[in-house]
Structure 1
Amino acid sequence: MSLPRILILLCVVATLAAGENLKPGDYTFFVEAQGRTRSYLVHVPRSSNGAKAASVVLAFHGGGSNGRTMITFSGLNDKSDEAGFIAVYPDGTGRRSEMLTWNAGYCCGHASREDVDDIGFVDKLLDDLSRRVSVDPNRIYATGMSNGAMMCYRLASELSNRIAAVAPVSGPMGTETCNPKRPVSVMHFHGTDDKFAPYAGGRGDRSLTQTDFLSVDYSISAWVKANGCPERGVTTKEPNRANDGMIVTRTAYGPGRDGAEVILIAIRGGGHTWPGRDCRLAFLGKSTHDISANDLMWDFFQKHPMR
């Protein structure tokens, strides 16, 4: 083979290795996992030019929802454009495309009953994404709402070789144990008046599932231990910026092994909502504007790349 052809081949291989460098915009992609065709949505921020490997935030929708709904519910595309990370919205499984769930352990719905391998799906999704755009493998993070929050916890435990840190919102652990291969920092947001995934655990008065949820305290304690953090946390109160009748406290545990942290953001009076976002569904409860979950989790993620 001639030298020019060899050089061309090397350039092609290098380009493939670096990803396709998708232009800013919104995309839908598909991967095969466990004999199923699975989908995920991608938002490439306006500032992206493909020259630098990007951070990724996986955002998992709640049970009975889908990735497209999660875009609106969380408002993470706006934060993506501001901060420059790639936002990814995976779709769960189910009989109806608008009512999908995640197999987060003992919950929820179709995905749990059918024992769907959602960990394997996310693993393949990340491989596929890395072929399409330049991704920083040390800065892949996960957040999620409700059943999606529970999925974050499972990923932190079972895919800790790829997930740097997680920020679950309104959902506890979906398994009784966590066994990460490396410390995974956690920032958990939860309202004390959550009627779907109760703060204290048990069955939610308004939950569509009969799941007996683990408590927030159980989830936090499990990850404090897993990350080797001090058992006693330091609690501070967030400023009352919105005067919305809710009180937000931050309890920080750490540093643990490799600088890991576990932080609980408790919203006294808060419901099954995404802090900082307006909630148009009154039955979900109140949503505080004293804080922005998107701002806090992104600041947290930046401090905790893969080590």
Structure 2
Amino acid sequence: MAPSAGTPQLATRPGAGWRWLILALGIAAASASALEPGTHTIELEHEGRQRQALVHVPDGAGEPPWPVVLNFHGGGGHAANQQDYSRLHELGAREGFVTVYPDGTGGILGRLHTWNAGDCCGYAARENVDDVGFTAALIDRLIDILPADPARIYATGLSNGAMMTYRLAESLGDRLAAVAPVAGIVAPTTTNSNPVPILHLHSRDDPRALYDGGLGPPFPLTRTRVHHAPVTASLTAWAERNGCRPARSATDEERTWHGPDTEHRAVRLTYADCPAGATVQLWRLTGAGHVWPGAAPALTRILGPATEVIDANAEIWAFFRDRRRTTDQATD
């Protein structure tokens, strides 16, 4: 069952003498209405659309407010699909963070949803769905009902969900502490918004979100094709936007994994001389497909080989864990 709407708005601004009382009452109300440990479906209306997300609150989340990771599904997926595929909430249960799987729009029977990441993808882009506004409203709701830590809101996603994550980094940079897109990228369109730490994960052998850019293959059972931005040039643009030096530093780490048919490799690269709090890193894989590293094989004829060369969940949370949104990121 969906929780009730957020706290009511006061009609008039309170005087200074009452602010402490209203703050105390607000804290008490938030604690009383906080979601219990477990899995919940929350709903909210945005721009006339009924939207929803799956929320996992772990046992032993620690003292509130809690860190929250938003995990956006790929194009043609849906919230439960990303939950079952990535299984990030299982790590959240062990590490004490809340995992949220938002649902896109379009499709049929609650499936085949997409995100409006600008030029991509599908229904959401064609109809210019306000997914940025929806995400901002979702963050507000989460802060009201969990309670969530406003300084520790993170975003990740796969494919079209990764593209959506980049759009949020640009449009909601004052609300996100860090992002970690997987197998999907868009270049920044502005240079003057808030810097956001970035960990990007992508395979050079991705058969769908092409690492070197270009027109990808048609979506299954359609003639729809998407033009993909090149990873190196796009990530360099994000690093420059964050104030990093254009050239990357030497390789930080290398790993190998012997898959069923071939050897997979992963190289972690870090952009040099980024300002404090604006790190940009890349896990560049070879041998893997259009996949969430560490996840079980799925649709391998379409997506390519799964891989265990790195565990995306572990790498993403290690990148997020100690990062907080700083005053340099905020606009207020």
Q: Same fold (TM over 0.5)?
A: yes
User: Following superposition of structure 1 onto structure 2, how do residues 91-170 of structure 1 map, counting pairs within 5 Å?
Assistant: 91-96=103-108, 97-170=110-183
Task: Tell me if 1:16 matches 2:29.
Answer: yes
Deviations 1:233-292 (CA, angstroms, capped at 9, x unpaired): 12244232x322111111101442233111111111111000111212212111221211
Letter in 1 for 2:290: H
SS of the equivalent of 2:318 reads helix
Q: For residues 228 and 21 of structure 2, what CA distance do their matches in structure 1 show? A: 56
CA contact (8 A) 2:191 2:241 kept: yes
State the distance in 1 between where 2:114 and 2:210 align.
19
C-alpha distance in 1, partners of 2:210/2:322? 29
Give distance in 2, aligned partners of 1:137 and 1:10: 16
How many Å apart are 1:179 and its aligned residue? 4.0
* 2:88 paired residue number: 76
User: Does structure 1 conserve the Cα–Cα contact (< 8 Å) formed by 2:255 and 2:267?
Assistant: no
Structure 1: how far apart are the matches of 2:312 and 2:240? 24
Q: What is the Cα deviation at residue 176 of structure 1?
A: 5.1
> Residue 28 in 1 paired to residue 44 in 2?
no
CA distance in structure 2 between the partners assigned to 1:40 and 1:278 by the alignment? 23
Q: 1:19 to 1:35 in 2, by over 3 A?
A: farther
Q: Identify the residue that residue 293 of structure 2 maps to in structure 1.
A: 275
**CA shift for structure 1 position 161:** 1.0
- Give, as a single letter, the amino acid of the residue that structure 2 aligns with 1:166: V
Equivalences for residues 40-79 of structure 1 within 5 A: 40-48=53-61, 51-79=63-91
Residue 217 of structure 1 is aligned with which of 197, 214, 232? 232
Decide whether aligned partners of structure 1 residues 195 and 18 sit closer, same or farther in structure 2, where only a CA change above 3 A counts: same
What is the percentage of aligned positions where both structures have the same residue?
42
Shift of 1:304: 2.4
1:239 aligns with 2:251: no
> What corresponds to 2:7 in structure 1?
none
Q: Please list, as runs of the form range in 1=range in 2, the aligned pairs for 1:161-240 lying within 5 A after superposition.
A: 161-173=174-186, 177-179=189-191, 181-208=193-220, 209-233=224-248, 234-240=250-256
Deviations 1:191-239 (A, max 9, x none): 1111111001111235453221111112211111111112121224423
Deviation at 1:70, TM superposition (A): 0.4
Q: Secondary structure at the match of 2:315?
A: helix
**TM superposition score normalised by structure 2:** 0.85
For residues 113 and 237 of structure 2, what CA distance do their matches in structure 1 show? Answer: 28
Which residue in 2 is equivalent to 1:291? 310
- Write the distance in 2 (CA, Å) between the matches of 1:139 and 1:55: 5
**d(CA) in 1 for partners of 2:130 and 2:264?**
38
Amino acid at match of 2:58: P
Supply the distance in 2 between the matched residues of 1:227 and 1:142 (Cα, whole angstroms).
Answer: 17
Tell me, what secondary structure is at the counterpart of 1:235? coil
Deviates most, 263-272 or 200-209: 200-209
Question: TM-score, structure 1 length as denominator?
Answer: 0.92
CA change 1:11–1:176 in 2 (3 A) is: closer
Please state whether the residue corresponding to 1:239 is helix, strand or coil. Answer: strand
Letter paired with 1:274: W
CA shift digits 1:36-63 (9 cap, x unpaired): 11111100012136x3211000000000
Q: Does 1:304 align with 2:323?
A: yes
Number of residue pairs aligned between Structure 1 and Structure 2: 298
Runs of 4+ deviating beyond 3 Å: 7-12, 206-209
Quick one: distance in 1 between partners of 2:237 and 2:22?
50
Task: Say what the alpha-carbon RMSD is for the aligned residues.
Answer: 1.9
In 2: Cα distance, 1:180 partner to 1:104 partner = 19
- Partner of 1:3 in structure 2? none
Contact in 1 for aligned 2:264/2:285 (Cα 8 Å): yes
Q: Distance in 1 between the 2:268 and 2:310 partners?
A: 11
Q: Which runs of 5 or more residues in structure 1 are unaligned?
A: 1-6
Residue 254 of structure 1 contacts residue 260 of structure 1 at CA under 8 Å; is this kept in 2? no
